[in-house]
Structure 1
Amino acid sequence: MKKISILGCGWLGKPLAISFLEEGFAVKGSTTSKEKMATLASVGVEPYLVNISKFKEVNAFLTSDILIVAITSKDVAGFENLVSQITNSPIQKVIFISSTSVYPRINKIMAEEDVLDENNPLVKIENLFRKNTFFKSTIIRFAGLFGGERHPGNWFKGGRKIPQPKGFVNMIHREDCIAIIHEIINQNCWNETFNACATHHPTREEFYVNARNSKGLEAPIFEKNEKYEWKIISSSKLENVLGYSFIYDDLLSI
């Protein structure tokens, strides 16, 4: 039985853990909340209390074959300590969940080899995993996340204005996130970096008007007279290398 550890069993990590349990993996999962440990245990996950910013040893949690890092922390020092512990653990392979926020808005289609925003701490954190030779790692840069209780129609409430209405949407559904992670493991695809984003890119105005309408909410308010800045995230490498087809690709029909 393969053992997998998932650092961060929240909106993405918990259903991901359940999906691996259904495939027969032994799954260890972490949370920073004592209250959530019982919930993880109730679905069959072996729960651990882990906060990488507290610099505690997590040897038992890292006693697995594969580690998936699915936390939102951007604590570079915390990740340096974590990578050091992984180096001295049985972990052989790591998937690090990053974000397409590493790309600046420079009005072009962005692929994995394009310029990054060097001020974004995720760039430094990605490199901690990428440059370590004691384990294999693959970086997934997910676009904007939605699915489940996370519905775009609920964003920008309270009169908040949505910026860049003529820019383009870069989004990915949670079910696609989970499926892509499984594909990387199933296809043994390591030491790679992938963008992961639906291939449909409506304008932000189209997308958020549609999202509000789908929930019967008032129309969104958009910023005006901004400098026009956009980016479109390309998932061509993901599609070509993994042969992946998105489950939720038409962002206006979901």
Structure 2
Amino acid sequence: MRILILGCGWVGEEIAKYYIDKGFEVYATCTSEEKKNYLNLLGLHVAIVDFDKENSILEFPTTFNYVLNSIPASSKNSVDEISNRFAHVSNYLKNITYQRQLYLSSIGIYPDKDGIFTEDFADDLNERLFVAEQKITFKNTHIYRLGGLFGNNRIFAKYFENRICSTGDQLANFIHVDDVVELIVQGFETDLNHPIYNLVAPEHPPKKEVILASAQKYNFQLPSDFQPEHSFQKMVDGSKIIKELNYSFKYISPLDF
């Protein structure tokens, strides 16, 4: 059994560890020698690939059971640069075979405004993220739009220590990495019925409450002040995958992260 992880970041590492423990051969791409050496130590087969320039990985097999695609559609890149990057990714994917691909996108694709956003929302989408999703929409591919990702050493309060917080009134559309890993595993091993799923914890407390809870739990300093700006009430609905998989979250609320 083989899994391919394109763009092996934090989530990719957790998935790699899971499947190595299951006896899979795990192949991954990254963009630096340092990261390659680290992933090799975990037991992965690794290639350094810059998909802005390349569209083949000659040293890898051409048949995989699963593909986890977490190539980033970075905000620092232009739409044209993202289009070029994912054209290369697409060309590579067309020349390998696999049973199922999961692409990790972001709920940042939805506009920052009041409303409840389901997977069917199609107005005013972030062009950069939308282009990336469209480029890799193949048969046996499902898109996971991830909420704000936390867990392990990624703690929300840490980013606001002794700083002014201007987003405290906004709703938390977050998810814990442990739930992301479990939903990826189930997504690979289940015949999913829809092309796109939002992945967010079921509860959406204000970000201020999450900061206060995580600061107390992990002994971080509080923000120097809360000065709300742009207090839109954006809520991303992640109920579709919960219902389809009958999934029970390990972390129902970001207050528990």
With structure 2 as the length reference, what TM-score do the two structures score?
Answer: 0.89
1:181 is paired with a residue whose SS is helix
Question: Residue 136 of structure 1 contacts residue 191 of structure 1 at CA under 8 Å; is this kept in 2?
Answer: no
2:118 alignment counterpart: 111
2:68 is paired with a residue whose SS is strand
Q: Deviations over 1:129-177 (max 9, x none)?
A: 22x3xx4200000100011111112113452x32332221011111111
1:202 is paired with a residue whose SS is coil
1:213 alignment counterpart: 216
Unaligned regions of 5+ residues in structure 1, if any? none
- Determine whether 1:97 maps to 2:104: yes
1:185 alignment counterpart: 188
2:250 is paired with a residue whose SS is coil
Q: How big is the alpha-carbon RMSD for the aligned residues of Structure 1 and Structure 2?
A: 1.9
- Determine whether 1:169 maps to 2:172: yes
Unaligned regions of 5+ residues in structure 2, if any? 75-81
Letter in 2 for 1:153: A
Count of residues in Structure 1 that have an aligned counterpart in Structure 2: 248
Question: Residue 144 of structure 2 contacts residue 199 of structure 2 at CA under 8 Å; is this kept in 1?
Answer: yes
Structure 1 range deviating more: 46-55 or 187-196: 187-196
Letter in 2 for 1:67: V
Question: Residue 90 of structure 2 contacts residue 135 of structure 2 at CA under 8 Å; is this kept in 1?
Answer: yes
Letter in 1 for 2:177: R
Letter in 2 for 1:68: L
Q: How far off its partner does 1:190 sit?
A: 6.2
1:13 alignment counterpart: 12
With structure 1 as the length reference, what TM-score do the two structures score?
Answer: 0.90
Letter in 2 for 1:65: N
Q: Deviations over 1:194-223 (max 9, x none)?
A: 000001111111111222222323322323
1:78 alignment counterpart: 85
Distance 1:128 1:212, change over 3 A: same
Aligned counterparts of 2:232 and 2:122: Cα–Cα separation in 1: 16
Distance 1:62 1:52, change over 3 A: farther
Aligned counterparts of 2:95 and 2:71: Cα–Cα separation in 1: 21
Question: Residue 166 of structure 1 contacts residue 204 of structure 1 at CA under 8 Å; is this kept in 2?
Answer: yes
How many percent identity over aligned positions? 27
